Structure 1
Amino acid sequence: MKEILSWLNEFLYSNILIILLVVAGMYFTLKTRFVQIRMLKEGISLLKEKAHSEDGVSSFQALMISTASRVGTGNIAGVATALAAGGAGSIFWMWVIALIGGASAFVESTLAQIYKEKDGEVFRGGPAYYIEKALGNRFLGIVFAVLLISCFIFGFNGLQSYNVSSAMAYYFDNEQLCALLVGTILSIASAFVIFGGVHRIGVMSSRIVPVMAGLYILLGIYITLMNINQLPHLFAMIFENAFDTKAIFGGFTGSCVMYGIKRGLFSNEAGMGSAPNAGATADVSHPVKQGLVQVISVFIDTMLVCTTTAFILLNFGIEEGLTGMPYVQMAVYNEIGEFGIHFITISIFLFAFSSLIGNYCYAEGNLKFIKNNPTLLFVFRLVTIAVIFFGAQADFSMIWDLADVLMGFMALMNIVVILYLHRYAFSALKDYQQQKRQGKNPVFHPGELGIPNSECWDK
């Protein structure tokens, strides 16, 4: 099983996915005239808008749900893995994939808003929904929903749980006991939120994410300022290694480009079809509003949180044999002592917990797409909790490869679909800009733009 996953991992990223991600991101960036940068200020201003209904999800809450899923242990353990295996240059390629990926995030989240559905007082949607409605193919929508559920529940949630267990191992002589306790605590905490529904997930995420991300970034700033004289050297190391042709082309599958893009995609999820599931839940007057808001999540994830981790680790240095959570713990311990290990352990727990509930939110929406049945949903929630428990006992290489492969298949399908459907997102963007120039608060009328099968907006 390990060999199959390793081969699939290498084949997907080396031969197909990286090319598609970069080409799609560059195409969307150029066609929208760098919408992810040009309209970033507009996206930030939209965060103040409230949901239209009392039980609805606001733009900010939808952003926090997607950020909760994005900002997880991948921002800490994932960056450590990339640095240990791909070198300092992998950080540069993380930045690149985030910058151009912002345009892909805008397109997929705008499409999710266009084709969302009403579910009681809240909305749900995502790639499965726009595949069915825009392409008229429910079977392909179900295929994507299955891929997403597999990726987020069996891949990502197991990995989040494993990384917490790895961080907590510092406090235990018995690793099995540590994994058992971590799995139990995470399962119970996740069950409390999961059984509360999407509104509780939105409220919980909007409270946890800003606090934990802010504290973690402050730690990174403190460590960087304490080593300010090293900053020019660190930037030089990142750029030199990023463009070292021998390192890049001598062994591409293990290069800084490969690790930077893989860990960058795992971290910011731009274009892979996950964040649109959160973006679709927002109760807004125009799809482009949430498309712009979702771009912010990509930048929070990579430009702030991943970069924070990178500079913490690079100030410590890259040591052979040290990777994942132990690498991060030693780097922080080296700067601020024992307190640093405790702080990182608490951070990784909160990062993982927010990701677990954000990931579940995505999976629930896709399960309801396949079949909206209360009994099935109850069983699915129990399975999710069981995966969180057993993920704490997983194997390091196998759990990372499984997450990468499932993410790769999901991203591959979504990128192809949004390349085909992007014209609808572009039409919505043009309409939004025209209404803004007229001094209006943009309101979406898909029929006037020739966008089919978006019934939710006609009601």
Structure 2
Amino acid sequence: MDNVLELFERINAFLWGVPMILLLLGAGIWLTWQLGFVQVRYMGKAFKHTFAPLFKKNKGDGINSFKALATSISAQVGTGNLAGVATAIAAGGPGAIFWMWVSSFFGMATIFAEGVLAQVYRVKKGDHYVGGPAYYIKEGLGSRWLASFFAIAIIFALGFIGNMVQSNAITVAFVETFQVDHNLFRLGLGIGIALFIGLILLGGIKRISTFAGNVVPVMALLYIVGSLIILMSHADEVFSTFALIIEAAFTPQSAAGGVLGATVKEAIRYGIARGLFSNEAGMGSTPHAHATANVHYPAQQGLVAMVGVFIDTVVICTLTALVILVTDAHQTDLQGSAITQEGFARGLGEFGTPFIAICLLFFAFTTILGWAYFGEVNVRFLFGESAVPIYRWLVLICIVLGALVQVELIWEVADTFNAFMVIPNIIAVLALTFVVKKEWKQYRNELK
């Protein structure tokens, strides 16, 4: 197992090296420039489009913008916000958080473009719409093979490997909470999670979006309140912690931050990789949710998509990082979500461990739902409706297996397949920038 882990670590050192960093940041910077800093100038309008549907009755086919965003956030807000942030700090030091912020800022422009393209190239299936990178790669670029490559990558990256990560995170949290680390306990948790996921998946996107629309706001608010309670009790350290994050992003000695051997290069690599795993900007996953929304203009859903990155990284990931750093939980020998759990245990006392276990349960559970649906869309794209039942069974098996396997290995495998998703998706987004700009211009003309 150690040899396999080492192999994937070497693969990811190459895949997530300077070329990938330049590809992701370069795409975000290019789109930010081409769209006139949309994430700065139109953020207020983005929040308005996001929450306005809560006060209106949905008309026409599809689901409203808020439910589409809730489905997107259900996939975005997961172990990347808890275990992923902790892993980034453990491997890259506190400076990794700064690079998360950088990637999320430019990622807002990238995800805006993804949301627009998902709307432009979506297709009607019964009483709802489906779409995503496989559709805009095939129709926009005219490349069936590249679309198929992406579809295969997302099925493995999210549907199978990614959901193993989520299942593992839930299991580790409950193992820490109940102090029972036995294979039968882990197996029981995995089977329980799989059963509930299976019941909701059978209802399709409308049941998933309804569930996400009800659960996501509650789980996000619960986590934010818990984090703020800890930060208020360490108020005198918050400012210095922000300073440490910024300094560590550029200084090798500071980047260690209690983690031996962390360098600026590692801070950048793990910050961007874990930031992507968390907010998924550029990965090509969330467009599947945004394609389902019932909106007047594709650019409206592009704006809504930006809110997902803001909530995911700027709010929740930052709160997680601050809790870990002010409580010195990163100074321990723990790994993954156990680091975050330790931070909340130190900050909230005996209530901290079960608190984070409950949050992880909701975060990871909703992410499994979102990712399973995203993979399902691509199974239909490749093989048709007849392959969906087989795919669903394989997802449920992966959820059970995820409760039993080694966490370091599945994180590394997830990073590998994430890279395989990013490359064709970013190629398509950059090649179709002219389509995004056209839709963006049409929307702004309507505003005038």
TM-score range, shorter chain: over 0.9
Give distance in 2, aligned partners of 1:354 and 1:328. Answer: 19
Aligned residue in 1 for 2:136: 130
Decide whether the 8 Å contact of 1:131 with 1:417 is kept in 2.
yes
How big is the shift at 1:412? 1.5
How big is the shift at 1:139? 2.1
Matched, 1:407 2:414: no
Aligned residue in 2 for 1:275: 286
Give distance in 1, aligned partners of 2:414 and 2:366. Answer: 18
Decide whether the 8 Å contact of 1:42 with 1:292 is kept in 2.
yes
How big is the shift at 1:43? 1.4
Aligned residue type for 1:72 = G
Matched, 1:5 2:17: no
Give distance in 2, aligned partners of 1:299 and 1:155. Answer: 25
Give distance in 2, aligned partners of 1:51 and 1:146. Answer: 37
Aligned residue in 1 for 2:68: 62
Alignment counterpart, residue 87 of structure 1, candidates 74, 86, 93: 93
Alignment counterpart, residue 401 of structure 2, candidates 371, 390, 409: 390
How big is the shift at 1:87? 1.1
Give distance in 1, aligned partners of 2:123 and 2:158. Answer: 22
Aligned residue type for 1:365 = V
Give distance in 1, aligned partners of 2:415 and 2:264. Answer: 14
Aligned residue in 2 for 1:447: none
Matched, 1:199 2:210: no
Alignment of 1:176-255 (within 5 A): 176-244=183-251, 255=266
Moved more, 51-60 or 201-210: 51-60
Shift of the 252–83 alpha-carbon distance from structure 1 to 2, 3 Å rule, reads closer
Aligned residue in 2 for 1:454: none
Aligned residue type for 2:156 = S
> What do residues 195-236 of structure 1 show as CA deviations (whole Å, max 9, x unaligned)?
111100000001111100111011111111111111121111
Aligned residue type for 1:151 = A
Give distance in 1, aligned partners of 2:274 and 2:343. Answer: 19
Alignment counterpart, residue 353 of structure 1, candidates 361, 365, 369: 365
Aligned residue in 2 for 1:37: 40
Decide whether the 8 Å contact of 1:94 with 1:302 is kept in 2.
yes
How big is the shift at 1:153? 1.4
Aligned residue in 2 for 1:457: none
Give distance in 2, aligned partners of 1:27 and 1:8. Answer: 27
Alignment counterpart, residue 325 of structure 2, candidates 314, 321, 326: 314
> What do residues 395-417 of structure 1 show as CA deviations (whole Å, max 9, x unaligned)?
12110001000001101121111
SS at match of 2:293: coil
How big is the shift at 1:254? 5.9
User: Between the two proteins, what is the percent identity of the paired residues?
Assistant: 38
Give distance in 1, aligned partners of 2:95 and 2:250. Answer: 7
Give distance in 2, aligned partners of 1:14 and 1:248. Answer: 18
Decide whether the 8 Å contact of 1:85 with 1:254 is kept in 2.
no
Matched, 1:121 2:133: no
Aligned residue in 2 for 1:452: none
Unmatched runs of 5 consecutive residues or more in structure 2: none
Shift of the 338–385 alpha-carbon distance from structure 1 to 2, 3 Å rule, reads same
Aligned residue in 1 for 2:27: 24
Aligned residue type for 1:259 = Y
**Normalising to structure 1: TM-score of the pair?**
0.92
> What do residues 151-175 of structure 1 show as CA deviations (whole Å, max 9, x unaligned)?
1012210100011111111214343
Shift of the 432–92 alpha-carbon distance from structure 1 to 2, 3 Å rule, reads same
Write out the 4+ residue segments of structure 1 that deviate beyond 3 Å after TM superposition. Answer: 49-55, 245-254
Aligned residue type for 2:36 = R
> What do residues 37-68 of structure 1 show as CA deviations (whole Å, max 9, x unaligned)?
21111111112235754662110011011100
Alignment of 1:244-393 (within 5 A): 244=251, 255-317=266-328, 318-373=330-385, 375-393=386-404
SS at match of 2:16: helix
Aligned residue in 2 for 1:450: none
Shift of the 279–51 alpha-carbon distance from structure 1 to 2, 3 Å rule, reads farther
How big is the shift at 1:381? 1.0
SS at match of 1:285: coil
Decide whether the 8 Å contact of 2:154 with 2:421 is kept in 1.
yes
Unmatched runs of 5 consecutive residues or more in structure 1: 438-459
> What do residues 288-343 of structure 1 show as CA deviations (whole Å, max 9, x unaligned)?
01000000000000011101101110111131422212211221111221111111
How big is the shift at 1:364? 1.2
Give distance in 1, aligned partners of 2:326 and 2:306. Answer: 29
> What do residues 432-453 of structure 1 show as CA deviations (whole Å, max 9, x unaligned)?
101110xxxxxxxxxxxxxxxx
Shift of the 272–51 alpha-carbon distance from structure 1 to 2, 3 Å rule, reads farther
SS at match of 2:292: coil
Aligned residue type for 1:367 = V
Decide whether the 8 Å contact of 1:85 with 1:259 is kept in 2.
yes
**Normalising to structure 2: TM-score of the pair?**
0.94
Decide whether the 8 Å contact of 1:51 with 1:283 is kept in 2.
no
Moved more, 348-357 or 14-23: 14-23
Give distance in 2, aligned partners of 1:100 and 1:260. Answer: 14
SS at match of 2:354: helix
